[in-house]
Structure formats: structure tokens, C-alpha cells
Amino acid sequence: MVDVPTYLASLAPLPEADFSEFGEVEIQPISRIQQLTGAFLGRNWVTIPHVTHHDEVDVTDAEARRTAWNKDHPEAKLTPVVLQVKALAAVLPAFPHFNASLSGDGKSLILKKYVNIGVAVDTPRGLVVPVIRNVGQNTVAELAAQLAQMAEKARTKGLSMAEMAGSSMAISSLGHIGGTAFTPIINAPDVAILGVTAVQLRPAPAPDGGIVWRKMLPLSLSYDHRVINGADAARFVRAIGQKLSDPALLA
């Protein structure tokens, strides 16, 4: 049997290419945030056995309630991500292995009794993940204000390391751009991350035998397979779908 360090040392090095041999090129510096993020993402990708579970959940009722809420509260704006943060936080207590981290020696699991949700924010300098703390204690209006303020700070002034630490899980939403699925990389030391892409209209059978159009939200849950099994991942995503449909979510 070949041991792993020996195998890794035997891999062919990446070729050093002089691309100007093939045509005109331009050298662009990579921002400090992108360099740091790249190092963390590379580490997480190679050290965590990722599996991504894809599903679609029906958000027709949730979207109708969100639209009505926005009409009644012109001073605030609920985006879909706010409801997803709230739903994720609400299901985590019933799935303690998702709100956990592996100890450094891999021999124990640290179960977190707090629920803090990271939200991936795309900034001109790169991707950052500010953390919203104690999500369950906040109303949706408070969450919307916090998310807007954190995204604005991330894009303008930048965030401190403390503002990006201490998450239970993170959400990475590409829903405002598009997509039907992707494989987000876990934001270690978290053990799972929820990827969101754009709502799709799908035909479904109506009770009268006809067809109704439903709004389906694609969810892509990447999880650390050392900690979470596939059946729990499938149940977890279904539970998020049920929570999104719960009228109490808008409290």
C-alpha cells in the first residue's frame, strides 16, 4: 500500500508556462483578500471530504408572504436571503451535527449551543463571510437591517476578522444572478454550507387535475462527510424547505 505523503510527493508539479509565447498577456495583482480567501478555500477543499446534496424546495407561499410583507413595510426590504438565514437558524437546533466543528485531533465533535450564520458577500476585493450572531433572537426586520449593514461594510470599509468568526454554518447565495446548482466549499471550521441559486418556475399538478406553476428554490448543501451522512443532509434540506413555508418565520 502507498502511504499518502509519498503519493502526494510523487504528483507531477504544475508546468511553469510562459504564456506570452502564445499571445499577448497582462499581469494583474491579486488582492490581499483574494489571496487569503484562496489559501483558506484551497485548504478546505483538499482537507474536507465534501459531498454536495442538491434539492428544490417550494417557496411559492414564502415568496407571496415576503412580497406582502414588503408592501406593508415600505421602510424595510426583505430579500429572499433574509428568510433563508432565518429558516437555516430555525432548523439547526434539531440537527446538532450541522452546528458543530471537529476537534483538531478529529476525535471529538464540538456541538455549538449558539446559532450564528455567515453570509457570503461578493465584494470588489473578493469574497468575505460576515457572521450574523444569535439569529433566532432577531426579527426578520432586524435581520434584514443587519445583513444590509454588513454587506455594505464588507463592500466599502472592510470587515475585521472578529466579524467573520464564530459561524455555525454559512449561506452562499447566487440567487440574484442565476444558476440551478453549484458546489459551495465549506467555510471551515464549519461542517456544512448552504448554497442557493435562482428560483425556478415549475409546473405541478393542481388539485382539479390541471397544472399550477410553483416557485421552486434550488438548494445545494455541501457537508463534511466525516461528520454528516447523506440521509441527514437530505432531511436537513427538506426541513429548511418546510421552515421557509412556515408563516411564523416572518415573526
Active site residues: 225
C-alpha distance from residue 13 to each of 18, 39, 100, 148, 232 (Å): 15, 18, 36, 44, 39
- Three-state DSSP state, 251: coil
User: Least distance in Å: CB of 150 to ligand CAO?
Assistant: 8
**Residue 202 interacts with ligand CAO (CB under 6 A)?**
no
Q: Quote helix, strand, coil % in the chain, to nearest 5.
A: 40, 20, 40
Kindly state the smallest distance separating residue 101's Cβ from ligand CAO, in Å: 20
Residues 2-31 close enough to bind ligand CAO by CB under 6 A: none
Does 127 participate in binding ligand CAO (rule CB under 6 A)?
A: yes
Q: Which of 174, 192, 216, 244 binds ligand CAO (CB under 6 A)?
A: 174
Give yes or no for residue 116 binding ligand CAO (CB under 6 A): no
DSSP per-residue letters across 24-86: -----PPPHHHHHHHHHHHHHHHHS-EEEEEEEEE-HHHHHHHHHHHHH-TTS---HHHHHHH
Cβ closest to ligand CAO, residue 81 vs residue 239: 81
User: Which residue lies nearer to ligand CAO by CB, 90 or 97?
Assistant: 90
Site residues (CB under 6 A) for ligand CAO?
Answer: 79-81, 119-122, 127, 151, 172-176, 184, 196, 198-199, 217
